[in-house]
Structure 1
Amino acid sequence: MKLRHSARTDVGKTRDHNEDNFGVGGDERAAQLGELLVVCDGMGGHAAGEVASQIGVETILANYYGDSSDDRQSALEQAFEQANSSIFARGQGSMGTTGVAALLHHDALHIANVGDSRAYLVRDGEIRQVSRDHSFVSDQVAAGLITADQARFSPHRNVITRALGYQPDVTVDLFRLPLQVGDIVVLSSDGLHGLVTDAEILQIAGEQPPEQATQALIDLANSRGGTDNITVMIARVDGLEWYGEGAPAPDDLHDRTTIELPATERLAARAEAPTERLEPQPAPAAAPPAASARPTRPPEPGLNWRGLVLALALLSVLIGIILFYAPSVLAPGGAESTPTAAPSAPAATAAPPTLPPAPSVAPTSNAAITPTAR
């Protein structure tokens, strides 16, 4: 493999010391085991972050090249795990570092990462982020709460969710892609990609030789404040040895049986908005429509149920009223009519007293009249 690479690190404009470290495994073992490039961004306060990143770089390189097994991806993963154990043993969880590595071995590119330091692939005028950020804002972007551009300006953009050295064990993300001549691999700490857009990385890394491109990218980040340590590594593939019979198609970048590209971005889909800053409104603004969209249907069953209960209650009252007053309306001679008939009885019996002269006839007349009156 013909490979040109360059790496630079800079303290930036606001920090008093540099906690970034990088390393390249390019000695005689690289011909057999591949070219390994590593970037680590340390954390943990003054000196501790620098120690963690140095241990990370040295341990990853030493353990990878110390393993001569055929499974190079597994060797890379184990090298990261050993780096995590070494840093944790040194700091007992008080210091840590991100870690990203690019292994160019024969016809393949292997990427390993923990934290938010990134690996990019530049090919055919496009740039793709291969690594996956282990950060709070990355999780927000994945959940659709904020956009990728808003994440760049979020006050929580420096909060990472995974690192080397903070826990006894760590999970390493691994990716594999086929290589082709002309590919450019870029590794960076967040001091670079936090201030420089993917499109600008594409333009500078794609148009300038690695030696000039690394310096140009650092200068650009510093011109925008240099708010963090800045590290960038660029490797350009000028030739491959394994092209021929049985070799994978060099442009087969979407073979999902061997490739994982979790954060693919095309330039046309990426908006350049350096003045757009994240405020509390964007995330809640997207949430209310989703929240209010849900209740648009549930209220209907609620209203129908309440309406049904109200209708049944009214019907019950109406039935009660009918049952209460029906006897007086349908059967005026019943028990309900007795109170009203009592007053009329004197009026009906008032006539008999007007016939006192014939008392002997009263029983017969009363017997005949009584049934009729009822």
Structure 2
Amino acid sequence: MFKPEPLAVQSASRTHVGLVRPINEDRVFDCPARGLWAVADGMGGHSGGDLAAQAVIDALRAQVDGDAPIDQAAMLAAIHTANAAIVRDNRSRSTDAGSTVVAAQITDRTATIAWVGDSRAYLIRDRTVRQISRDHSFVQDLIDAGLLTVAAAANHPRANVVTRALGIAEHVDIATVTIDLERGDRLLLCSDGLSRSLETDAMRQRVDLDRLVGLLMADALRRDGSDNISLVCVAID
């Protein structure tokens, strides 16, 4: 039976403290050699949001540094490991830090997206942009209930409230979706510091990845910049 060759991938990433926050609580993970990428957005400020996000990256790095294949199970195991580490750290320091995460794992021609919280994943295909993830947030629940429009959500007083995050409880429900990939696809993973001011026209630009992530970062800083901003873009060639 004919088996198509695996698709080649390349990626680029950026993270920026933004124009207001004193520290960067975001972290990115960019490992095309092992087909694994992530953005973690820490919460807690001086209580250790940066440490929570770093725990996510450390758990993912431990997976790729090992000898076992990187697949969906490995990605989810790393996220659960990070959750447990953040919970332990919170208890030892009497803090309440947490982190959102969005991660992507690619095997052959399939991508699995996993997320907790409101960090997002988008698929860009044939100049069409589609949000793959669904926010675990207060305003998303209102939208789903028909009580709030998408346009009004950005200005809601509780727009930054997430309903699910790592480090809050010993067990965390990780949402996942699997998609088939095509040549020319691009995946964008980002924190809400980017998504809250993201323009689809900017995402559709057919420029090289380094230039694209630079343009998206500059655009987010120009439009808002009130939060940390992080993104990873993966191109399927």
Whether the TM-score (by the shorter chain) exceeds 0.5 is yes
Supply the distance in 2 between the matched residues of 1:53 and 1:67 (Cα, whole angstroms): 24
Instruction: Output one character per residue of 1:225-270: Cα deviation in whole Å (capped at 9) or x when no partner.
Output: 30100001111111xxxxxxxxxxxxxxxxxxxxxxxxxxxxxxxx
Assess, with a 3 A threshold, how the Cα gap between structure 1 residues 65 and 129 changes in structure 2: closer, same or farther: farther
Runs of 4+ in 1 over 4 A off after TM superposition: none
Cα deviation for residue 154 of structure 1 reads 1.5
Is structure 2 residue 133 aligned with structure 1 residue 131?
yes
Q: Distance in 2 between matches of 1:94 and 1:165?
A: 8
Deviation at 1:152, TM superposition (A): 1.8
- 5+ residue gaps in structure 1? 239-374
2:234 is aligned to 235
Cα distance change, pair 64–87 in 1 and its aligned pair in 2 (3 A): farther
Give the corresponding residue for 1:9.
15
Q: Displacement of 1:63 after TM fit?
A: 3.3
Deviations 1:296-340 (A, max 9, x none): xxxxxxxxxxxxxxxxxxxxxxxxxxxxxxxxxxxxxxxxxxxxx
Q: 1:25, CA displacement in angstroms?
A: 2.5
User: Structure 1 residue 18 and structure 2 residue 24: aligned?
Assistant: yes
For 2:190 and 2:61, how far apart are their aligned partners in 1?
Answer: 17
**Cα distance in structure 1, aligned partners of 2:115 and 2:38:** 10
* Equivalent pair of 1:107/1:179 in contact (CA under 8 Å): yes
What percentage of aligned pairs have identical amino acids?
A: 37
Structure with higher helix content: 1
Does the Cα contact within 8 Å between 1:84 and 1:170 map onto a contact in 2? yes
* Structure 1 pair 3–69 and aligned structure 2 pair: CA distance change class (3 A): closer
Alpha-carbon distance in 2 for matches of 1:80, 1:67: 18
- SS of the residue 2:213 aligns to: helix
1:98 to 74, 93, 100: 100
CA distance in structure 1 between the partners assigned to 2:67 and 2:134 by the alignment: 26
Listed as ranges, the gaps of 5+ residues in structure 2 are 1-6
- Cα 1:65/1:77, change in 2 over 3 Å: farther
Across the two proteins, how many residue pairs are aligned to each other?
Answer: 228
Q: Which has the larger radius of gyration?
A: 1
Q: Partners of 2:147 and 2:30 in 1: how far apart?
A: 38
Q: Which has the higher contact order (CA 8 A, sep 6+)?
A: 2
CA distance in 2, matches of 1:60, 1:129: 23
What secondary structure is seen at the aligned counterpart in 2 of 1:207? coil
Q: TM-score of the superposition, structure 1-length normalised?
A: 0.58
Looking at structure 1, the residues matched to 105 and 130 of structure 2 have their Cα atoms a distance apart, in angstroms, of: 17
Matches within 5 A, 1:158-169: 158-169=160-171
2:197–2:220 contact (8 Å) kept in structure 1: yes
Q: Distance in 2 between matches of 1:149 and 1:60?
A: 35
Distance (whole Å) between structure 2 residues aligned to residue 155 and residue 107 of structure 1:
41
In structure 2, what is the Cα distance between the partners aligned to 1:216 and 1:47? Answer: 32
